[in-house]
Chains A and B, each alone.
Chain A
Amino acid sequence: MGGALAAGLVVAGALAAAVAAPVRGDVLVFAAASLSDAFGEAGRVLERQHPGLRVALHFAASSTLRTQILQGARADVFASADERNMRLVHEAGLLRTAPLTFARNELVVAVPASHPTGISSVRDLARPGLKLVVAAPEAPIGAYTRQVLAALSRDPAYGPDFARRVLANVVSQEPNVRATLARVALGEADAAFVYRSDLVSAYGSRVRTIEIPRWANVTARYSIAVLRTASHPVAARRFIDVVLSEAGQAILARFGFLPARD
């Protein structure tokens, strides 16, 4: 018991030291568009811990961020909505730390809350005349969307041409997931494939959710790492620490993300 207390004191002391050690500078975080809300909050947590530190966030499709990083954009942290774009940055020798999985996500279909579309299941998405928006196949969410459709097409109940019939209803390929969701929230489109976490955003209240059958859904694994070009690697690590901390994980959970591990 005394040992446990002592250990507790040591941990508390170490935590206090970590919090107290002044870390200064600007951390530039390149993060997947779906992290917009959660990372904004994580950044504020870090800024409260280290008053001399400022977190700047840049959100776009992970594929866009990867292109920007490969073309020489100098950022401190990269957070990708898939493992592929992180791997491509890693293979280019641009990571300073090994990537860590910090959250998971899955796909849902969003339909306008106020506008009757007659869509009650994923199967209805193949009905001719619907206006469907998806993310471009280059963005992780766009690739996941096509994986889900391919999985559904393998089920005889949906039919082998299900994916083709659904994609024939696509009226726009949006650059990232938030732009995709906005189309439905504004009522311009009848349905969109988005992440479950996107439903917690400001647009969430304007859409209704249609579930994708569990067996056909995909798991998006979010990973994060410090970039080789980081000008403030210590502060960058602090940001990742916050994301992985209990507080950070609670923030991610509140914004609809699944924990990194089951």
Chain B
Amino acid sequence: MPAAPIPRPVPARSLSDLWVALPAGVAVGYAVLPVAGLLLFALSSARVQPALRLPAAHDAVLLTAVTSTLVAGIAALVGTPLAYLLGRSEFRGRRLVEVVVEFPLVLPPVVAGVALLMTFGRRGLLGPALAAAGIEVPFTTAAVVLAQLFVAGPFYIASARVGFAAVPRELTEAASIDGASSWQQFRHVALPLATPALAGGAVLCWARAASEFGATLLFAGNLPGRTQTLSLAIMTALEADLDAAVALSVLLLALSAGALAGLRLLAASRTTLLW
């Protein structure tokens, strides 16, 4: 049987096509311009650099890095089996579970914050039970992690689910015929092939957690060193000192850019990117 012809990639559109070049240029410009504005202001103001060394900036960077990394870790730990289930199996109500799990993607973060308060707050659904156990969640670093996890976790699950779904079914079936257990099929077939999607999802989740604002402010409050992440520090600084706010914005920008660069490097190191 002759091998199926490999489809040739469609040649890239020439930039001389005005209907492509013009909107594309606008889109690129709109993405670049605000970032350029921020960086130019930061470079031109002599007071931005000293603000980077403020202890509040240091605390906020540390807190943001620690909580976002925790969130990405928890999402990977808890979300991977769920994503595997959703991406690889058919069961009644699968679509419903999918929608429920990924619903926070379209939920305004402020609403998420109110919902978390109404659930874990003193007067919330679980408030009395938590209080009886001596646990108070709001205004703690744990509340920051919970808020970020609720908002950013679905980014990981969605990406991982698509990654697992793209693993060819014949491969796991062949492994199954060869006697591989369900764990072995997951560990040695699906997981390696879906790794780029999982890693991409983890980076997206991390970046979304790092930039989370609304849910954190409502649920965790705003206290330097305990619940004040970079986004909250930017809001607080903006009230009094534009230079400090710009300095903190540049820091958060650098963190996010680092995450994106990491994602790109990861993608480049793989021949197939499945998502």
The DSSP consensus for interface residues of chain A is loop
Q: Does A245 contact B (CB under 8 A)?
A: no
The DSSP consensus for interface residues of chain B is loop
Known contacts A64-B238, A138-B240, A172-B139; is-contact A188 B222 (Cβ 8 Å): no
CB-defined contacts of A170 to chain B, threshold 8 Å: 223
User: Is the Cβ of A71 less than 8 Å from the Cβ of B236?
Assistant: no
Stretch at the interface among B13-21, B58-66, B115-123, B196-204: B115-123
CB-defined contacts of B217 to chain A, threshold 8 Å: 175
User: Is the Cβ of A186 less than 8 Å from the Cβ of B222?
Assistant: no
Closest B residue to A138 by CB, please name it. B239
**Out of A67, A131, A186, A189, which one reaches B239, CB within 8 Å?**
A67
Binary flags per residue of B224-264, CB closer than 8 Å to A gives 1, else 0: 10111000000110111010000000000000000000000
Task: Name which of B122, B226, B227 has the most chain A CB atoms within 10 A of its CB.
Answer: B122
The range of chain B's interface size is 20 to 34
User: Is the Cβ of A174 less than 8 Å from the Cβ of B222?
Assistant: yes
**Out of B139, B220, B228, B240, which one reaches A63, CB within 8 Å?**
B240
CB-defined contacts of A187 to chain B, threshold 8 Å: 121-123
User: Is the Cβ of A171 less than 8 Å from the Cβ of B221?
Assistant: yes
Known contacts A64-B238, A187-B123, A188-B138; is-contact A172 B117 (Cβ 8 Å): no
**Out of A71, A115, A138, A171, which one reaches B139, CB within 8 Å?**
A171
User: Is the Cβ of B222 less than 8 Å from the Cβ of A173?
Assistant: yes
Q: Does A224 contact B (CB under 8 A)?
A: no
Report how far A136 CA is from B222 CA in the complex, Å: 9
User: Is the Cβ of A173 less than 8 Å from the Cβ of B139?
Assistant: no
**Out of B117, B227, B235, which one reaches A188, CB within 8 Å?**
B117
Report how far A139 CA is from B240 CA in the complex, Å: 8
Q: Does A133 contact B (CB under 8 A)?
A: yes
User: Is the Cβ of A175 less than 8 Å from the Cβ of B123?
Assistant: no
Report how far A191 CA is from B128 CA in the complex, Å: 20
Q: Distance (Å) between the CB of A94 and the closest chain B CB? A: 15
**Out of B220, B221, B228, B242, which one reaches A133, CB within 8 Å?**
B221
Residues of B within 8 A of A (CB): 117, 121-123, 138-139, 217, 220-224, 226-228, 235-236, 238-240, 242
28 contacts between A and B (CB under 8 A): A64-B239, A67-B238, A67-B242, A71-B242, A115-B122, A137-B240, A170-B223, A171-B139, A171-B223, A171-B226, A172-B139, A172-B221, A172-B222, A172-B227, A173-B222, A173-B236, A174-B221, A175-B222, A175-B235, A175-B239, A186-B117, A186-B121, A186-B123, A187-B121, A187-B123, A188-B122, A188-B138, A188-B139
Residues of A within 8 A of B (CB): 61, 63-64, 67, 71, 115, 131, 133, 136-139, 170-175, 183, 186-189
Given contacts A133-B221, A173-B224, 5 further A-B contacts (CB under 8 A): A67-B238, A139-B239, A171-B223, A171-B226, A172-B221
